[in-house]
Amino acid sequence: DGGITQSPKYLFRKEGQNVTLSCEQNLNHDAMYWYRQDPGQGLRLIYYSQIVNDFQKGDIAEGYSVSREKKESFPLTVTSAQKNPTAFYLCASSIQGAETQYFGPGTRLLVL
């Protein structure tokens, strides 16, 4: 089946620890995105990538890092510099630009 997968579904982070969230798509989409969602809020853009080996900061990139070594994969690392990482993280992809984006099931990150 074609689609976007994210793993893990739930992730627990200890203080000072870096954690990496996985996002994979087999839709042959060029562009991929990471969003953060806090309770009662809309989605806010963390990073996006329109092509392999290139990515751009979104509105709330501080404390996060990404890589785009393959078209299918766009992992997000939540670093220890992110002081309030507890949130729901959603990955998306699109064919061109951001006209219509398709979303993965999300990862819930909790701080221990």
Interface with another protein by CB under 8 A: which residues? 33, 35, 40-45, 48, 50, 56, 58, 88, 90, 92, 97-103, 105-106, 108
Comparison of 13 and 108: residue with beta carbon closer to another protein: 108
Residue 92 burial (C-beta neighbours within 10 Å; 0-12, 13-18, 19+)? buried
- CA-CA-CA-CA torsion sign (85, 88, 93, 97): negative
- C-alpha span between 106 and 58 (Å, rounded): 18
Comparison of 13 and 44: residue with beta carbon closer to another protein: 44
Residue pair 34/18 in contact by the 8 Å Cβ criterion: no
Comparison of 50 and 67: residue with beta carbon closer to another protein: 50
Closest approach of another protein to the CB of residue 77, in Å: 20
Closest approach of another protein to the CB of residue 22, in Å: 16
